[in-house]
């Protein structure tokens, strides 16, 4: 009787232990993800995901229309030169292989900003929806990195000088609002680089150059 | 007063039944687990579960939707690419256009890439936070991910992806809480940064002052884990996001690929 009670106690403890171990492991697994975010951060994340998903749905609609046009040409036995040209122009403009025009903002930077801060500014412009960015004469590509010391900033082999200009095409109100909001990048840089001055100007029409880089991979091959 | 012989405790230990030892050990482990559970729940107890629950569910649902939307875009782009290749026929102009389009898509990151390269993994520090230190310094941030991506480009990479998100001309890398958004996709740590480039990409990266400073400032100072692997081949996925321009348009005054004055305002 006594032995039976002991076995029962042991079984209960083992069961509780098992449950707790599983709960702990699951908590740790989930702890690397969304469980670490506060409600405010989760709200920001949900907002970001919603915006991105809307953009993706719009892209699907555009791509479906493009596919339908191509399928119709194919059914008629036509060559698709016009479609190819339109698609090529779109991809080249987006990539930075061709010059583009449009409304946006110009940021004039004087007084010296370190390379990391200029990269922060470019990152913020991308986040705010900039469709094309240039720093002075250089169209910004993923591999265009601002480097060098404070008094000798470089992008590739191009020296930036003081002052220099960052131009971005996109919604002027959104870009200006995002840069100049309280706690935004301009306010942050005013605190971390007090000697620098950033003047943000909405512009109706900007013209950004094409990149001079050859962006087609040499070492990487297309995945089939 | 009775003096116990030295062998008494040992003989008493022998008398303890084995089930009691097992139970004792089990209870000890149980105690550890309960404390670990309470500690892991501690800071999060501030965020009422009834407030967070629906938000977490919404975020997971939206991320799942995003994955499906991206898969749909990639499938549509593949269909378009196939049709364009098929439609070229014997028309020389179309063949040339098709090749230029392929090159432009490769340059844009709209086609998956494979080739020689390296993979870096960034993981949070496990070191104890020193008094006076900011605990966030011990976590991998968007700034860390961006620094590594930038150093890879400077070292000659021709394609980079973070946890399966291809870095393109429009990619922003942001912090939300202790996690990172890339292309507005939520990425959970650890962060794997894959890059394709010249065969000596790792040597170039290791030799760069910028990367060495990063290792010094983050790995050596705060214990951030930076692991590097050089597999025989690295694969990068295609960018599955939007390439639709709403505000920018090709400059009609310049021929395709022609130069234009930088940042100038047309009259």
Q: In this structure, are A126 and A201 located in the same domain?
A: yes
The H or E element containing residue B234 is strand B234-236
CB A134 within 8 A of CB A167: yes
- B183 SS3 class: coil
Contact B178, B127 (CB under 8 A): no
Owning domain of residue A8: 2-34
Alpha carbon distance B153, B195 (integer Å): 9
Count CB atoms within 10 A of the CB of residue B27. Answer: 14
Query: Chain A contact for B228, CB < 8 A?
Result: no
Residues B100, B165 share a domain:
no
Hey, are the CB atoms on A106 and B263 less than 8 Å from each other? Answer: yes
Q: Are residues B73 and B51 in the same domain?
A: yes
> What pLDDT score does A157 carry?
87
> CB contacts < 8 Å between A and B, how many?
360
Regarding predicted confidence, which is higher, B267 or B162? Answer: B162
Instruction: Tell me whether residue A146 is in a domain.
Output: yes
β-strands A221-222, B113-115 pairing: antiparallel
Number of domains in chain A: 2
Res. B258 pLDDT band, cuts 50 70 90: very low
Q: Say yes or no for a CB contact (<8 Å) between A88 and B101.
A: yes
Cα atoms found within 13 Å of the Cα of residue A31, Cβ hemisphere only: 15
Farthest CA pair distance, chain B = 113
- The DSSP symbol for B121 reads E
- Main-chain dihedrals φ then ψ at residue B256, nearest 5 degrees: -55, 125
Q: Is B146 among the domain residues? A: yes
Contacts of B60 in chain A (CB under 8 A): 34
**Nearest alpha carbon to residue B65 among A21, A46, A39, A216:** A46
pLDDT for res A142: 94
* Nearest C-alpha in A relative to B189: A32
The answer to whether the Cβ–Cβ distance between A79 and B89 falls below 8 Å is: yes
Taking CB atoms and an 8 Å limit, are A147 and B210 in contact across chains?
Answer: yes
Looking at the structure, do residues B212 and B102 belong to the same domain, yes or no? no
Domain interval for residue B175 = 113-236
Nearest chain A residue (CA) to B188: A33
Confidence of residue A132 (pLDDT cuts 50, 70, 90): very high
The verdict on B121 and B232 lying in the same domain is yes
B103 close to A95: Cβ distance less than 8 angstroms: no
- Are A219 and B115 in contact (CB < 8 Å)? yes
pLDDT at A29: 47
Cβ neighbours of A6 in B, within 8 Å: 17, 19-20, 23
pLDDT confidence of B33, banded at 50, 70, 90?
low
Interchain CB distance below 8 Å, B114 and A223: yes
Indicate whether A29 belongs to any domain.
yes
Same domain, B72 and B130: no
- Flag whether residue B75 sits within 8 Å of chain A, measured between CB atoms: no
Per mean pLDDT, which range of B43-52, B65-74, B78-87 is the poorest?
Answer: B43-52
In this structure, the answer to whether residues B131 and B183 fall within a common structural domain is yes
Tell me whether residue B242 is in a domain: no
Q: Which residues make beta-bridge pairs with A103?
A: none
Chain A residue closest to B261 (CA)? A209
Residues of chain B neighbouring A107 (CB-CB closer than 8 A): none
Q: What is the CATH number of the domain that holds B117?
A: 3.30.70.1880
Interface of B with A in 145-204 (CB under 8 A): 146, 150, 153-154, 157-160, 167-174, 176-179, 181, 183-186, 188-189, 196-199
Residues 6+ apart with CB under 8 A from A160: A118, A135, A136, A146, A153, A154
How many angstroms away from the CA of A195 is the closest CA of chain B? 23
* 3-class DSSP assignment, residue A213: coil
Query: In terms of domains, do B214 and B160 share one?
Result: yes
Task: With H, G, I as helix, E, B as strand and everything else as coil, classify residue B175.
Answer: strand
A154-155 β-sheet, strand order: A146-147, A154-155, A158-159
Contacts of A170 (CB under 8 A, 6+ apart): A102, A103, A104, A105, A125, A128, A129, A130, A131, B247, B248
CB contact at 8 A, A106 and B258: no
**Chain centroid offset of residue A112 CA:** 25
d(CA A156, CA A147): 8
pLDDT score for A24: 56
Of A63, A126, A137, the CB nearest to B77: A63
One domain for residues B141 and B230: yes
CB contact under 8 A, A138 and B262: yes
pLDDT band at B37 (very low <50, low <70, confident <90, very high): low
Q: Report the alpha-carbon angle A204-A205-A209, nearest 5.
A: 150
Residue among A217, A218, A221, A224 with most chain B CBs within 10 A, to mutate: A217
Q: For A28-42, A57-71, B72-86, B139-153, which range has the lowest pLDDT when averaged over its residues?
A: A28-42
Which of B73, B169, B244 faces A95 most closely, judged by CB atoms? B169
Query: If DSSP codes are grouped into helix, strand and coil, which group holds residue B63?
Result: helix
pTM: 0.79
Q: Measured between CB atoms, which of B62, B77, B259 is closest to A209? A: B259
Q: Is B32 on the interface with A (CB under 8 A)?
A: no
Non-local CB neighbours of A215 within 8 Å, separated by 6+ positions? A95, A96, A97, A141, A143, B106, B107, B108, B158
Quote the minimal CA–CA distance from B9 to chain A in Å. Answer: 24
In which band, very low, low, confident or very high, does the pLDDT at B223 lie, cut at 50, 70 and 90? Answer: very high
Q: List CB contacts (< 8 A) between B159 and chain A.
A: 217, 220
Would you say residue B244 lies in a domain? no
**What's the rounded Cα separation, in Å, for the pair B24 and B17?**
11
Which among B62, B97, B173 is the nearest to A81, CB-wise? B97
A42 inside domain: no
DSSP-assigned beta bridge partners for residue B193 = B120, B162
**Domain count of the fold of chain B:** 3
User: How many CB atoms sit inside 10 A of residue B40's CB?
Assistant: 15
Residue B216 to chain A, least CA–CA distance (Å): 17
State how far the Cα of B253 lies from the Cα of B28, in Å rounded to an integer.
78
Does B78 share its domain with B190?
A: no
B207 and B120 in a common domain: yes
Task: State chain B's mean pLDDT as an integer.
Answer: 83
Backbone angles phi, psi at A221, to 5 degrees: -115, 150
The per-residue pLDDT for B226 is: 97
Looking at the complex, report in whole angstroms how far the Cα of residue B8 sits from the nearest Cα belonging to chain A: 26
Is residue A62 one of the residues assigned to a domain? no
pLDDT band of residue A181 (cuts 50, 70, 90) is very high
The CA-atom distances, in angstroms, between A133 and each of A119, A124, B132 are 12, 11, 40
State whether A24 and A115 are in the same domain. Answer: no
pLDDT digits (tens, 9 = 90+) for A2-46: 667 777 777 777 777 676 666 555 544 444 467 778 888 888 889
Cross-strand partners of B173? B182
* Residue B7, min C-alpha distance to chain A (Å): 28
Distance CA B19, CA B116 (A): 59
Same domain, B127 and B192: yes
User: Quick one: B208 and B194 in the same domain?
Assistant: yes
């Amino acid at each position: 009787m006594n032995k039976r009670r002991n076995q029962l106690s042991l079984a209960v403890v083992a069961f509780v232990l098992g449950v707790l171990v599983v709960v702990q492991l699951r908590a740790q697994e989930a702890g690397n993800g969304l469980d670490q975010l506060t409600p405010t951060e989760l709200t920001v994340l949900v907002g970001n995901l919603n915006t991105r998903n809307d953009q993706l749905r719009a892209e699907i609609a555009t791509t479906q229309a493009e596919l339908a046009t191509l399928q119709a040409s194919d059914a008629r036995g036509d060559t698709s030169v016009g479609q190819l040209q339109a698609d090529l122009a779109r991809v080249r403009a987006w990539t930075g292989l061709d010059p583009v025009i449009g409304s946006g903002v110009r940021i004039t930077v004087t007084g010296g900003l370190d390379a990391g801060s200029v990269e922060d500014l470019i990152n913020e412009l991308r986040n705010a929806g900039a469709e094309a960015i240039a720093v002075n004469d250089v169209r910004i590509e993923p591999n265009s990195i601002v480097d060098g010391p404070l008094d000798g900033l470089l992008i590739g082999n191009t020296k930036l000088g003081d002052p220099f200009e960052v131009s971005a095409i996109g919604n002027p109100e959104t870009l200006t609002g995002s840069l100049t909001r309280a706690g935004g990048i301009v306010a942050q840089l005013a605190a971390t680089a007090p000697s620098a001055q950033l003047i943000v100007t909405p512009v109706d029409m900007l013209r950004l150059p094409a990149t001079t880089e050859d962006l087609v991979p040499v070492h990487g091959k297309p995945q089939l | 007063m009775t003096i116990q012989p030295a062998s008494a405790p040992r003989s008493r230990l022998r008398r303890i039944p084995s089930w009691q030892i097992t139970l004792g050990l089990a209870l000890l482990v149980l105690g550890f687990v309960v404390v670990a559970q309470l500690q892991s729940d501690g800071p999060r107890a501030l965020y009422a579960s009834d407030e967070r629950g629906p938000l977490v569910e919404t975020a997971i649902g939206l991320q799942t939707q995003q994955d499906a939307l991206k898969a749909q875009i990639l499938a549509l782009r593949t269909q378009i690419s196939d049709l364009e290749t098929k439609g070229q026929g014997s028309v020389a102009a179309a063949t040339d256009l098709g090749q230029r389009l392929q090159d432009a898509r490769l340059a844009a990151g709209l086609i998956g890439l494979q080739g020689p390269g390296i993979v870096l993994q960034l993981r949070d520090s496990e070191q104890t936070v020193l008094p006076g230190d900011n605990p966030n310094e011990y976590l991998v941030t968007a700034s860390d991910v961006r620094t590594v991506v930038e150093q890879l480009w400077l070292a000659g990479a021709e394609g980079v992806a973070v946890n399966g998100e291809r870095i393109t001309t429009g990619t922003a890398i942001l912090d939300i809480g202790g996690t990172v958004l890339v292309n507005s996709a939520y990425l959970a740590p650890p962060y794997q940064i894959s890059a394709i480039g010249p065969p000596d990409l790792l040597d170039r990266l290791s030799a760069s002052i910028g990367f060495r400073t990063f290792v010094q400032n983050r790995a050596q100072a705060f214990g951030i884990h930076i692991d590097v692997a050089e597999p025989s081949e690295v694969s990068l996925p295609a960018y599955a996001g939007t390439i639709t321009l709403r505000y920018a348009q090709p400059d009609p005054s310049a021929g395709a690929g022609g130069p234009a004055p930088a940042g100038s305002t047309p009259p």
